[in-house]
Amino acid sequence: MRISNIMILLSLVVSLLMIDSAAFAKKKKRKRKHKQKQSEQMTTDMSESMGSGQTYAYGMAGCGLGSLIIKQNSMMGQVTAATLNGTGAQTSGISTGTSNCRVNHSMAQLEQEVFITANFASLSKDAAQGEGQHLRAFAEVLGCTDQLGDFARVSQQNYAEIFSVTDPKAALDNYRGVIISNEALSGTCNRARI
């Protein structure tokens, strides 16, 4: 079967010369250790466990995620993932503070940042429409699950204020400000106060 692979390989080389190379989004080169030496050294840090289509940059302070740009045609379906957890021994890069994050960021803060960064565009649409699965998921991330209706209404009413900025993290601050100052929500959304 490996032989068939090699045959296909040869022919595909030719074919690939023809295919528009623009179809391949430019990738940041990522160094990878080829072999894992010992099971002793299995722990890899988050930066290594993340995909190759990595296009976001860590912000200047702490683990601000900057913005997440998901490129089309990302190779092999890889996207950048600010994964909340990896698998196997690579886990807990974030929770134990081994990645670029400093420990002063709580898990809730991180989850909120990751969510709003990865879903900023979709969330803005859902908020303006006053409904949608991104809004529901974000309600859970902020701990507003019990008052979904109010959360959706407040998001829509305050759309202009929350989304007056294009930086996801700044929008998150606005969002939390709106929730905290809202009578209906400030009591329930227990994760909005950080």
Considering only residues 50 through 89, tell me which ones interact with other proteins, judged by CB under 8 A. Answer: 50-52, 67-79, 81, 83-89
- Report if residue 14 touches other proteins, rule: CB under 8 A: yes
Q: How far is the CB of 123 from other proteins (least distance, A)?
A: 10
Site of tokens 């991330």: 141
Cβ pair 81, 50 in contact under 8 A = yes
Return the number of other C-beta atoms located less than 10 Å from residue 181's C-beta.
11
Site string for other proteins, 90-119 (x = CB under 8 A): xxx--x------------------xxxxxx
Burial 141-150 (b: 16+ CB within 10 A, else e): bbbbeebeeb
- Report if residue 12 touches other proteins, rule: CB under 8 A: yes
Nearest to 78 by CA among 111, 49, 35: 49
Stretch that binds other proteins, among 16-24, 98-106, 177-185, 186-194 (CB under 8 A): 16-24
**Site residues (CB under 8 A) for other proteins, limited to 139-158:** 139-141, 145-146, 148, 156-157
Q: Which of 133, 173, 187, 190 binds other proteins (CB under 8 A)?
A: 133
Q: What is the spatial distance between Cα 126 and Cα 135, in angstroms, rounded to a whole number?
A: 6
- Report if residue 170 touches other proteins, rule: CB under 8 A: no
